[in-house]
Structure 1
């Protein structure tokens, strides 16, 4: 298991680069549900779908811009070995073909959640799968991680959806659920990791499908554009020729 090796200076430097990279690649980054975080205290586990290479980078940037928590993200060991600099941003590894390594990663997750300002991002699908694929197929490790988390920790479901709308480049949409306590979540299934995993997968699927249905109808109500993209070729054309 490869631990994170966070460097504050590197986070600050990378956030500036990542902001430029997102602005160059997307027309906008839109977030819904930020008001639900107002006054939220205690560590948070962010459970998200994983349909794109961008997922972790967008969550990192939203945290840098708005949430400002101590950010960590669990990452497949193969990917972290390929991009070791992610350790400086809070990435740590899991190797799913090793029981001992899985246990070490879950213990590491629980240790990070001892900090009241921690934000730990988990992708229970375990690998990138297209955003339209169902079922999401959660791995059981997410339930085991929550069972070791402090009872006062909060869980938030995060759904990421990527769409081409009226712009030359795609738009990224992030929806955040109401945070719920680990204590309340575990009370319904105190002994069954399988049931808890299935329930989390069901809730995230409902949120993801609802988000998708609204965006297909052009309904982006409640989203805040937190990062606007750079002007595209189409934007410059409209500015120059329509103004003329």
Structure 2
């Protein structure tokens, strides 16, 4: 497997580039609901995976909102093609190779210490946002079996077009949960509980967004002005002449 090799200066550079070039130019607005836990216990940041953007959004949250030193699993072919991701905390996983998969999970365990966090996408691959069931793999349950002190934070990403030229992203951070009292359950049962938890949060989030009930969200990143906004400004100035 390929381990992470963090670089502080590169993380700062890439955070600036990611925020001000990639995200602001690509999204009309990125909204956030909820808060990351204020604790020194290790965190498993468990998110759904439906878009190429998920990794870059997770890195942005790690730098801006998460109070822990964060790491993330990334497909081996991706990290081989773009090794600079190692410098922002990515390490490889190859689900098709059982031995390599265990190596990656055991490496993730070493990162679950106080004040550190690991991002996990339990679906194992990008799946359509509306696909059900989510189809969780047992990686998070495996980590909890070995690191029961870890807090699981359910995070859902919902991408959508609303009323503007560019898409919007709604991020919901659920309350941090301890599964220490559920360690007597089988790994398969625990995986089912985790999948149901994230599915329920994602489905409720979807319904609230459809109903335009977004008052609990705050704007995390406001994108650059759209063509329609520039045109509207031009029209207003023209009328004043």
Q: TM-score range by the shorter chain?
A: over 0.9
Matches of 1:143 and 1:203, distance apart in 2: 13
The equivalent of 1:241 in structure 2 is: 235
Do residues 4 (structure 1) and 1 (structure 2) align? no
Secondary structure at the aligned position of 2:137 is classed as coil
Aligned pair count reads: 237
2:76 is matched with 77
Q: TM-score, normalised by structure 2?
A: 0.94
Superimposed CA distance per residue, residues 140-174 of structure 1 (whole angstroms, 9 cap, x where no aligned partner): 2221122122x332110000000111111001111
**Rounded Cα–Cα distance in structure 1 between residues aligned with 2:68 and 2:236:** 44
Paired residue for 2:190?
196
Using the alignment, how far apart are the partners of 2:182 and 2:112 within structure 1? 22
Superposed CA deviations along residues 180-211 of structure 1, whole A, max 9, x for unmatched, are 1241xxx2352400000111001100000000
SS in 2 for 1:75: strand
CA distance in 1, matches of 2:116, 2:196: 25
TM-score, normalised to structure 1, is: 0.93
Q: CA RMSD in A?
A: 1.3
Q: Is the 8 A contact 1:107 1:148 kept in 2?
A: no
The aligned residue for residue 14 of structure 2 is 14
Contact 1:76 1:95 in 2 (8 A): yes
CA contact (8 A) 2:145 2:183 kept: no
Match of 1:163 among 149, 160, 163: 160
Q: 1:166-181 alignment to 2 at 5 Å?
A: 166-181=163-178
* Cα distance in 1 for residues equivalent to 2:196 and 2:202: 10
In structure 2, list runs of 5 or more residues that go unmatched: none
Deviations 1:43-76 (A, max 9, x none): 1110000000001111111221222421111111
Determine helix, strand or coil for the equivalent of 1:67: coil
In 2, distance between residues paired with 1:223 and 1:119? 24
Q: Structure 1 stretches (4+) deviating beyond 4 angstroms?
A: none
For structure 1, which segment, 213-222 or 10-19, has the greater mean C-alpha deviation from structure 2 after superposition?
Answer: 213-222
